[in-house]
Amino acid sequence: MSDTFDVAEVLAGGCRKRADSWAFVSSFAASWFTPLSPADGFTLDQIQRAEDRLGVHLPVALREAYTLFGRRRDLVAQQNPLLEPEELLLDPSGELLVFRSENQGCAGWGVSLTDLSREDPPVALFSDRLPNSERCHFLDRLSLACVETVLSEAVVGRWRQGRACQATPEVVACLETEFARVPLPPYPAWFDPMGPGVRWFSAAGLLLRLEPGSEGTELVVTGRTEGDLQRAIEAIPGAWPDAEPTVTRTISEHDFVLPF
């Protein structure tokens, strides 16, 4: 699996059900990291304590994510972590249950309290880059937002400078011709929620993300191995700086700032 795993291929049928999202996370973990184990989830008692503290019932999808892989910090806490149950909080308005935070507290992801009774509710994004501290729609389902979390954390966890280039028309044409589109709908980037939506492409061992940049749109590429990354850089006609691998270091409870 590790040599042939292609994100777009595995997600080709879409994540129509929560189980599809969890199956993808399991397969991705086994290919890019290590397989999930029973020890990778929080216990139902830990989740119940969070619910009692907040006075709410968590959506089924969030409870499932916590019990399946919530403790896998390599998957969900490289930079913008999925909050642990004891860290869950309400936004200042008291209208949003926040379950993921940008590491400096500049943005967060949450579910409206009016949607908590839904098994797989839509997710909202709030960001200091939005006018008047408003929030915007992120993705239609929390389980799909968890898929996005795992992909995005893989990107930021493996490479720093050297993985991005300007997405010129030639670069985009190469992406659309040579790589498969990952079937995630475009969604706002926390750091530029008013900019172009984030889009993903892939090949075996590669993740490629189009996202807002300082001069339009940038392409960010991550490889399962350094060889995979080099293969993409050689294939895509972009102005690439030298790739610099970095040691993966997961976010600990002292490394990020809660948004409130």
Using a cut of 0.85, tell me whether the model's pTM lies above it.
yes
H helix count then E strand count, the chain: 8, 10
Tracing tokens 């992406």 back to the chain, one arrives at 175
Q: In what order do the strands lie in the sheet with 216-223?
A: 164-166, 216-223, 206-213, 199-203, 180-181
Q: What is the pLDDT of residue 246?
A: 45
Local confidence pLDDT in tens for the 260 residues of the chain:
346 899 999 999 888 899 999 999 999 999 999 999 999 999 999 999 999 999 999 999 999 999 999 999 999 999 999 999 999 999 988 999 999 999 999 999 999 999 999 999 999 999 999 987 789 999 999 999 999 999 999 998 875 545 899 999 999 999 999 999 999 999 999 999 999 999 999 999 999 999 999 888 999 999 998 889 899 999 999 998 765 544 445 666 657 788 88
d(CA 236, CA 164): 11
Q: What is the pLDDT of residue 161?
A: 43
Q: Tell me the DSSP string of 138-185.
A: EES-HHHHHHHHHHHHHHHHHB-TTSEEE--HHHHHHHHHHSEEP---
Q: What is the pLDDT of residue 219?
A: 96
Number of Cβ within a 10 Å radius of residue 239: 8
**DSSP class of residue 58?**
-
Distance of CA 188 to the CA centre of its chain: 12
If we measure between CA atoms, which residue out of 50, 63, 65 comes closest to residue 148? 65
| Cα distances (angstroms) measured from residue 172 to each of 38, 44, 189, 198, 241 | 41, 45, 18, 13, 18
